[in-house]
């Protein structure tokens, strides 16, 4: 089987997805697309500094981070999750992964939280 045929056989038809998606799921899709778009804009701002040696446009970085926070908060609200819950979960995960309290390549590779 060619890759082209495999893709054709395995892609879920858009009409089927549309028939199954709920309004709540569409809200989440809106939020995650927003996160993806804004992170792309943030990536571009950092790329310009790293690759083109331009000064970091802090005003733009702050704007993009704010936009990302907007979409993350929309997602959290829709799912009934608080920002504190996400931060607490992240702290717990990283505390387990980096049990020494500081970064090391060994701990990063071992990923004790998995």
Per-residue pLDDT of 66-84, as tens digits, reads 999 999 999 999 999 999 9
pLDDT attached to residue 16: 96
pLDDT attached to residue 57: 96
Interhelix angle for 83-97 vs 58-79, to 10°?
100
Alpha-carbon gap, residue 62 to 84, rounded angstroms? 21
Q: Contact at 8 Å (CB) between 42 and 48?
A: no
With a cut of 50, which residues of the chain have pLDDT below it?
A: none
SS3 sequence of the chain: CCHHHHHHHHCCCHHHHHHHCCHHHHHHHHHHHHHHHHHHHHHHHHHHHHHHCCCCCHHHHHHHHHHHHHHHHHHHHHHCCCHHHHHHHHHHHHHHHCCCCCCCHHHHHHCCCC
pLDDT attached to residue 33: 98
pLDDT attached to residue 39: 98
Neighbours of 70 (CB within 10 A): 14
What angle (nearest 5°) sits at the alpha carbon of residue 43, between those of residues 49 and 36?
Answer: 170
pLDDT attached to residue 72: 98
Taken as a whole, the chain contains a residue count of: 114
């Amino acid at each position: 089987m060619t890759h082209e045929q495999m893709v054709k056989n395995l892609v879920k038809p858009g009409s089927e997805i549309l028939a199954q998606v709920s309004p709540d799921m569409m809200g989440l899709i809106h939020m995650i697309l927003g996160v993806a778009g804004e992170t792309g804009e943030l990536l571009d701002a950092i790329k310009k500094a790293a690759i083109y040696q331009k000064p970091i446009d802090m005003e733009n970085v702050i704007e993009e981070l704010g936009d990302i926070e907007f979409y993350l908060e929309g997602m959290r609200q829709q799912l009934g999750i608080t920002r504190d819950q996400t931060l607490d979960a992240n702290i717990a995960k990283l505390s387990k992964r980096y049990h020494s309290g500081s970064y090391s390549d060994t701990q990063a590779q071992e990923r004790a939280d998995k």
